[in-house]
């Protein structure tokens, strides 16, 4: 057995260290499928892991990276054979299980989703956990029976990964999308993606009133904190908000008023332990409902050697759209 290149996280006297280094194949963890990783991506959580800003990594040594797309190399799982194109995200990869920033990954076959024919391994990571989470949020709003005729949908963290894909998908489905961003200089970018209106996130970041003017039928929120509280208080009667992120904080300084006086529903979105059947639906809907041209426009490519620096940028809110990481 040889070695392969990986972004390795080790425990240090104070915190952790991250470096691109050889990793011994014999150290790969248990799993019945070995995948040749072709592409990965950079998520907010990856930024936290490679910079050590939050205790995302819970096993050492760790390979960072929470999602990958690639080709099955070896499998003892009857669902998979060499040559299958797969995508994998969450399940503790990069946290408790060796992750995606590596030439090889060994995982449980039950974690993998077969890539739809029309999605390349690069496109799968241009979508990445962020795009798949955006789709889980759209599916949650649909399950709640929201349709474009109910009214606008607000998307917060609009210029980020989840936000950008959410806007592209919602606009393709016919929704009137209101994009909330701190980077109003990106208004043209957001309108090209499909936003009908762009608002300054400062409008949503102050303390929330229990109820405010009803402005939208629903929302996809990747920001949390007072932003989510404001969105809830501005949601129309019987509307729904999918909460999937915490870019501004984990708190939710709200009241029960939107829930008990307007019947507003708060829908929780978790991508990490999401059941496999829902994952398959999400990837198949991404194949049909995400404009691939728009995806290309929002995607920027880096190499494995650039991941650590890019991790600091995503935490500083300086990344626009999606970053794919070329592994092989
Ligand atoms: P990005 O960094 O790409 O996007 C986050 C966006 O949030 C930024 O681009 C910025 O948008 C906005 N933002 C950042 N800081 C603040 C702030 N202090 N106040 C208000 N807005 C802010 O990250 P992702 O899109 O990859 O992820 C977004 C969030 O979703 C993260 O918190 C992440 O952890 C979470 N997430 C959760 C998942 C789940 O399973 N529930 C899965 C994937 C992600 P703008 O410049 O337009 O204002």
The whole-number pLDDT of residue 1 equals: 74
Residue 257 in tokens:
């008023």
Determine the average pLDDT of the residues in 85-102: 97
Determine the average pLDDT of the residues in 65-81: 98
Please tell me whether residues 301 and 258 are part of one structural domain: no
- pLDDT tens, 97-141? 999 999 999 999 999 999 999 999 999 999 999 999 999 999 999
CATH classification of the domain holding 96:
3.90.180.10
The whole-number pLDDT of residue 322 equals: 92
Determine the average pLDDT of the residues in 58-82: 97
Residue nearest to atom 7 of ligand 1 (CA): 157
Domain that holds residue 79: 3-115+291-326
- pLDDT tens, 229-285? 999 999 999 999 999 999 999 999 999 999 999 999 999 999 999 999 999 999 999
- Residue 49 is assigned to a structural domain of this protein: yes
- C-alpha radius of gyration, the chain, whole number: 20
Flag whether the pTM goes above 0.80.
yes
The whole-number pLDDT of residue 317 equals: 85
- Taking the C-alpha atoms of residue 127 and residue 115, their distance in angstroms, rounded to an integer, is 12
- Residue 121 is assigned to a structural domain of this protein: no
pLDDT > 90 fraction of the chain, expressed in percent and rounded: 96
Ligand 1 pocket check for 162: Cβ under 6 Å: yes
End residue of a domain, out of 268, 283, 300: 268
Determine the average pLDDT of the residues in 86-101: 97
Please tell me whether residues 264 and 135 are part of one structural domain: yes
Question: Please, what is the end-to-end C-alpha distance for the chain in angstroms?
Answer: 19
The answer to whether the bond into 61 is cis (omega within 30° of 0) is: yes
* Structural domain total, the chain: 2
The answer to whether residue 159 scores a pLDDT higher than 90 is yes
Residue 113 in tokens:
């989703």
Ligand 1 pocket check for 75: Cβ under 6 Å: no
Instruction: Return the ligand 1 atom nearest residue 45 CA.
Output: 34
- Residue 286 is assigned to a structural domain of this protein: no
Please tell me whether residues 135 and 104 are part of one structural domain: no
Please tell me whether residues 198 and 304 are part of one structural domain: no
Please tell me whether residues 84 and 28 are part of one structural domain: yes
Ligand 1 pocket check for 235: Cβ under 6 Å: no
Please tell me whether residues 53 and 163 are part of one structural domain: no
Please tell me whether residues 109 and 12 are part of one structural domain: yes
Please tell me whether residues 159 and 249 are part of one structural domain: yes
- Residue 157 is assigned to a structural domain of this protein: yes
Mutate to test the pocket of ligand 1, among 129, 162, 195 (most ligand atoms within 8 A of CB): 162
Please tell me whether residues 77 and 198 are part of one structural domain: no
The answer to whether residue 321 scores a pLDDT higher than 90 is no
pLDDT > 70 fraction of the chain, expressed in percent and rounded: 100
Please tell me whether residues 200 and 96 are part of one structural domain: no
The pLDDT confidence band at residue 320, using thresholds 50, 70 and 90, is confident
- Residue 185 is assigned to a structural domain of this protein: yes
Q: Is the confidence metric ipTM above 0.95 for this complex?
A: yes
- Residue 259 is assigned to a structural domain of this protein: yes
- Residue 89 is assigned to a structural domain of this protein: yes
CATH classification of the domain holding 195:
3.40.50.720
Please tell me whether residues 88 and 148 are part of one structural domain: no
Please tell me whether residues 140 and 235 are part of one structural domain: yes
Rounded distance from Cα 245 to ligand 1 centre (Å)? 6
User: Which residues pair with residue 178 across a beta bridge?
Assistant: 154, 197
Ligand 1 pocket check for 45: Cβ under 6 Å: yes
Residue nearest to atom 12 of ligand 1 (CA): 157
Ligand 1 pocket check for 159: Cβ under 6 Å: yes
Residue 160 in tokens:
């980020």
Rounded distance from Cα 1 to ligand 1 centre (Å)? 40
- Taking the C-alpha atoms of residue 170 and residue 166, their distance in angstroms, rounded to an integer, is 6
- pLDDT tens, 176-203? 999 999 999 999 999 999 999 999 999 9
The answer to whether the bond into 219 is cis (omega within 30° of 0) is: no
The whole-number pLDDT of residue 37 equals: 98
**Rounded mean pLDDT of the chain?**
96
Give the angle subtended at the CA of 308 by the CAs of 40 and 13, to the nearest 5°: 125
The whole-number pLDDT of residue 258 equals: 98
Ligand 1 pocket check for 307: Cβ under 6 Å: no
The whole-number pLDDT of residue 314 equals: 92
- Residue 53 is assigned to a structural domain of this protein: yes
């Amino acid at each position: 057995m040889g070695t392969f290149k990986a972004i390795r996280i080790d425990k240090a006297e104070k915190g952790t260290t991250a470096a691109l280094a050889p990793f011994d194949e014999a150290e790969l963890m248990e799993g019945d499928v070995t995948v040749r990783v072709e592409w990965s991506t950079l998520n907010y959580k990856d930024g936290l892991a490679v910079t050590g800003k939050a205790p995302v990594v819970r096993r050492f040594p760790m390979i960072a990276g929470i999602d990958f797309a690639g080709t099955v190399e070896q499998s003892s799982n009857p669902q998979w054979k060499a040559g299958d194109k797969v995508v994998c995200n969450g399940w503790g990869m990069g946290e408790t299980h060796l992750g995606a920033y590596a030439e090889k990954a060994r995982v449980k076959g039950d974690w993998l989703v077969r890539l739809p024919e029309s999605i390349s391994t690069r496109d799968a990571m241009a979508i990445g956990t962020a795009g798949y989470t955006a789709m889980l949020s759209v599916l949650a709003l649909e399950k709640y029976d929201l349709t474009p005729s109910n009214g606008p949908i607000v998307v917060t963290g609009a210029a980020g990964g989840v936000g950008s894909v959410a806007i592209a998908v919602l606009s393709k489905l016919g929704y009137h999308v209101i994009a909330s961003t701190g980077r109003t200089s990106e208004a043209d970018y957001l309108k090209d993606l499909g936003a009908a209106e762009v608002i300054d996130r400062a409008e949503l970041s102050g303390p929330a009133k229990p109820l405010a003017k009803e402005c939208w039928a629903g929302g996809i929120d990747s920001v949390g904190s007072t932003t989510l509280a404001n969105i809830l208080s501005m949601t129309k009667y019987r509307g729904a908000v999918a909460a999937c992120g915490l870019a501004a904080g984990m708190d939710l300084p709200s009241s029960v008023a939107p829930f008990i006086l307007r019947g507003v529903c708060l829908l929780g979105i978790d991508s990490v332990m999401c059941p496999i059947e829902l994952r398959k639906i999400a990837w198949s809907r991404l194949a049909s409902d995400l404009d691939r041209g728009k995806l290309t426009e929002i995607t920027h490519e880096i190499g494995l050697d650039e991941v650590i620096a890019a991790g600091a940028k995503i935490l500083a809110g300086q990344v626009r759209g999606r970053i794919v990481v070329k592994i092989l």
